[in-house]
Structure 1
Amino acid sequence: LLQAGLDQVMPGGFEVTSAGTRAMVGDPMQPLSGDIVRTYGGNPDGFVSRQLTSKILRGVDLVLTMTSGHRGEVLQLDASLLKRTFTIREFARMLDVLDERADSAASVPVTADGGGPLSANTAFWRGLPARAASVRHLSLPADSAENDIIDPYRRAPDIYRQMEDELAPAIVSVLRHARLNVPA
């Protein structure tokens, strides 16, 4: 879903992948999750779950997790990702602070090597985790549980709706930030 939205902002400018910390390897997306993805214009067809590994994490610019526990598991696999790993809700709140302060718009880079918008976009997003972390103190929730998104796996439909209610606003914040900061 995030990939579909980012593709609308800048086609070819982002690569979003997914892996689970306790994945049912090889399984398709759960039907109720697939319904939610379709509702927002995404396509769950062809999704196959896979287990998160250090190889998958190698070379990534940003890791967004569903829970603080997942964040901890990422860091156990690769501690060098400490400053580039956030829960998606935490990251979204930080982006909202950056957008409110208009800090990020002023820092959309133009690549020194004369690269075009795609390379400027890559440079911008590679620097974004540090900028986001710099405002973490301004985006802390009253309860740290607000960083997490409920796991609906094998639970009732109302839990899937709760997951949607927790996840959708965070995705919208990330997409809004991407849209507001598209290099010219």
Structure 2
Amino acid sequence: MSEPARILTVCTGNVCRSPYIERRLQHELDRAWGPGAVEVSSAGTGALVDAAMEPDALSRLGVAGGAGEDFRARAITRELVSDAQLVIVATRDHRGAVSRLYPRALSRIHALRDLAQLAEGVADDELPGRTSARAWLDEVVSLIASKRGLRPPLEPREADVVDPFRQGRDVFDTMSTQVEDALPQVLRVLGAGAGAGAGSR
């Protein structure tokens, strides 16, 4: 089997946003590419190391079709960033923190909601041919980076996924809604949505 594609998701504590995004992506990408073709992991810039996923995030993940009972938080490292072909962060501040850890990765680090907006600018016929998930991701990451600056960027308040840690259930609802609203376009360019493979050669 060829080497898997690797995606890293990042937030602060690694107990709410990034594990939710991680497990949602993993679920959908396993369905699209087959188990093992894509490895999605997560970490936190101020991780609550070894902590379980927050119950309110976990319950919403279950409703959305993911599972996280076995999840344990971990701290971000330079090696995790360098190994990832794509890094998806919860906020633009996280993008800055991750890029300072490994500056060479800057072009492949995106806040989730910024990534969804950039993905909207990728036409179905621009998507790569469906070979391996790793080759697809390499091409798509470069394609997405080329879309920067072609459309007005999101306002700061629109770009970040809200942090629900130690907040009320309504904030967890907002978090999950923000993630779920962004996922269709992100999954499409990751080969797990409508139009994926339209450019097959």
TM-score by length of 1: 0.86
Q: Is 2:38 the partner of 1:17?
A: no
Residue 176 of structure 1: how far off its partner (Å): 2.6
Shift of 1:139: 4.1
Shift of 1:133: 1.7
Q: Describe the SS at the equivalent of 2:121.
A: helix
Question: Which residue identity does 1:75 align to in structure 2?
Answer: S
Cα deviation 1:125-179 (Å, max 9, x = unaligned): 1122221121122343451221110010011111111111211111222223323
Structure 2 residue ranges without an equivalent (≥5)? 1-23
Match of 1:102 in 2: 124
Quick check: 1:132 aligned with 2:132?
no
Corresponding residue of 1:35: 59
Name stretches of at least 5 consecutive residues in structure 1 with no aligned partner. 110-116
* 1:25–1:49 Cα contact (<8 Å) kept: yes
In the other structure, the counterpart of 1:7 is: 30
Residues in 2 aligned to 1:172 and 1:39: alpha-carbon distance in whole angstroms = 17
Counterpart residue number, 1:73: 97
- Structure of larger gyration radius: 1
- Give the count of matched residue pairs: 172
User: Does structure 2 retain, via aligned residues, the 8 Å contact 1:19–1:52?
Assistant: yes
AA of the residue aligned to 2:83: G
Contact 1:62–1:129 (CA under 8 A) maintained in structure 2: yes
Q: Is contact 1:150-1:159 (8 Å) kept?
A: yes
Which structure has greater helix proportion? 1
State yes or no: 1:84 paired with 2:99.
no
- Shift in CA distance, 143/10, structure 1 to aligned 2, threshold 3 Å: same
User: Residues of 1 paired with 2:175 and 2:186: CA distance?
Assistant: 17
Tell me which amino acid in the other structure corresponds to 2:100. Q
User: For the residues of structure 1 that align with 2:96 and 2:154, how far apart are their CA atoms?
Assistant: 20
Instruction: Return the alpha-carbon distance in structure 1 between the equivalents of residues 38 and 47 of structure 2.
Output: 24
Give the fraction of aligned pairs with identical amino acids, expressed as a percent.
29
What is the alpha-carbon root mean square deviation over aligned residues?
1.7
Shift, 1:103, TM fit = 4.5
The residue type paired with residue 93 of structure 1 is Q
Normalized per residue, the structure richer in strand is 2
